[in-house]
Amino acid sequence: MTRNGVAVDFTDVTRVYGAVRALDGFTLHIEPGEMVALLGPSGCGKTTALRILAGLDEQTSGTVAVDGHDVTDVPPNKRDMGMVFQAYSLFPHLTVLDNVAFGLKLRGKARRERTDLAADMLDLVGLSEHKQKYASQLSGGQQQRVALARALAIQPRVLLLDEPLSALDAKVRVQLRDEIRRVQLEVGTTTLFVTHDQEEALAVADRVGVVNEGRLEQVAAPADVYAHPATPFVAEFVGLNNKVSAQVVDGRAHLLGMSMPAARGSIGSGSGVALVRPESVTVTADPAGAASVTSVAFLGPISLVHCALADGSPIVAQVGSAHTTGLAPGVQVTVGVEPAELLVVPAAAKP
């Protein structure tokens, strides 16, 4: 079952639709067997990159190589890539088993062999008891699992997942997300996963690439992307961020009466805006505090405490729900930031 994946290389790939540059000098290397998630808002070009790799779209310039070979002129049906689509894509006229065996049939496998292989694949995604059903008899999550089994049955060189979870409801989404990761690790296929959901990307991928306006802003391990965003856009898109005005002096950021190191990519000196994650913000009830609580949103294990700073600007703190006693709207508080590197961007920057 285990297969060594192949490397995938996008080199300076650009795709222009009329006046829109959907991809603009997109360069990405994917290691054999690695799972890379492309994360970005809709229309940022991440799906275009995936479709170009699949051969369903064509780049205007640049090259795409699989296992070191340029695949630009290879039609999609010869690229050997398994793809799971955002929309349900099972063939409605075939049973689940025949859907999974479809690609094997095209590869000239004997009936016996393809039925066995397809059954194995359905085992892998936990749907062996639904073999004889039709797509219309399955739930959305089951359909996407069959689609995954179908994509993997052909033992593709690369697995392409185009927002496979976005049509599903929240609970199924999390389940299937973990399932996809488990299966991917089991078969070891190089995988490109496209999503607009940061939690999804951070949870499953070896590396996350954040895409904005056709460009890769940052590619790094999920923890790095989260902790050390390379650009204001990444900081803004990955996680909710507070913007707190800060002064940078000698490589240190001064804000809320505290001082901490300014991260790489920050402005050199002068005043700017520090991007602070809600979980790094501390709120303490303090009758002498300059800030006040405006509202508290209870989210189960955690709560979001919205405060107004002395100058009236808003800030959100994420606090364990056990620690919110005494934090009611109107209460005076002291707001602080846990010491860590902070990214400070020019005040006018619109991330």
Partner 1 sequence: MISSRLRGRIGRGLLLALFAAFFLFPLYAMADFSTRNLIQGGRTLQAWMNLVQNEMLYRAIIVSLLLAVFTVVLMLVLLVPTMIWVRLRAPWGRRLVEFLCLLPLTIPALVIVVGLRNVYLWVVYFFGESALTLTFVYTVLVLPFAYRSLDAALSAIDLKTLAEAARSLGAGWTTTILRVVVPNIWSGILSAAFISIAVVLGEYTIASLSGYQNLQVVIVAIGKTDGPTSVAASLATLVFGFMLLLVLSLVTRGRRPGGASIASTAAQKGRP
Nearest residue to 260 (alpha-carbon basis) of 273, 251, 268? 251
Q: Does 151 bind partner 1 (CB under 8 A)?
A: yes
DSSP string, 120-142: HHHHHTT-GGGTT-BGGGS-HHH
State the pairing for strand pair 158-162/190-195.
Answer: parallel
> Which of 102, 193, 233, 237: binder of partner 1 (CB under 8 A)?
102
Which span (35-43, 149-157, 286-294, 308-316) binds partner 1, by CB under 8 A? 149-157
The reply to whether 167 sits near partner 1 by the rule CB under 8 A is no
110 binds partner 1, rule: CB under 8 A: no
Q: 50: which residues sit within 8 A by CB, 6+ positions away? A: 38, 160, 162, 192, 194
- Closest residue by Cα to residue 207 from 189, 217, 222: 222
Residue-by-residue DSSP string for 247-300: EEETTEEEETTEEEEBPTTS-SSEEEEEEE-GGGEEEEE-TT-SEEEEEEEE-S
CB-hemisphere CA count at 13 Å for 68?
0
Does 298 bind partner 1 (CB under 8 A)? Our answer is no
Q: How far is the CB of 83 from partner 1 (least distance, A)?
A: 4
152: amino acid identity, one letter: L
83 forms part of the interface with partner 1 (CB under 8 A): yes
Q: CB under 8 A: which stretch of 103-111, 179-187, 213-221, 234-242 binds partner 1?
A: 103-111
Closer to partner 1 by Cβ: residue 107 or 111: 107
Residues 10-69 that bind partner 1 (CB under 8 A): 54-56
Check residue 140 for interaction with partner 1 (CB under 8 A).
no
Instruction: Please report which residue ranges of 34-167 form alpha helices under DSSP H.
Output: 46-54, 96-106, 111-124, 140-153
CA–CA gap between residue 20 and residue 32 (Å, rounded) = 32
Query: What is the bridge-based pairing of β-strands 207-212 and 35-39?
Result: parallel
Side-chain-side CA neighbours of 277 within 13 Å: the count stands at 17
Of 81, 187, 255, 331, the one binding partner 1 (CB under 8 A) is 81
154 binds partner 1 per the rule CB under 8 A: yes
Please, which residue, 137 or 271, has the CB nearer to partner 1?
Answer: 137
Residues in binding contact with partner 1, number by CB under 8 A: 34
> 275: buried, middle or exposed (CB in 10 Å: 19+, 13-18, 0-12)?
buried
The residue from 87, 223, 328, 347 that contacts partner 1 (CB under 8 A) is 87
Q: Which is nearer to partner 1, 55 or 222 (CB)?
A: 55
Q: Which of 21, 29, 131, 133 binds partner 1 (CB under 8 A)?
A: 133
Asked whether position 88 contacts partner 1 by CB under 8 A, the answer is yes
| Residue span binding partner 1 (CB under 8 A) among the ranges 13-21, 72-80, 206-214, 253-261 | 72-80
Q: Rule CB under 8 A: which residues touch partner 1?
A: 54-56, 75-83, 85, 87-93, 102-103, 106-107, 133-137, 147, 150-151, 154, 160
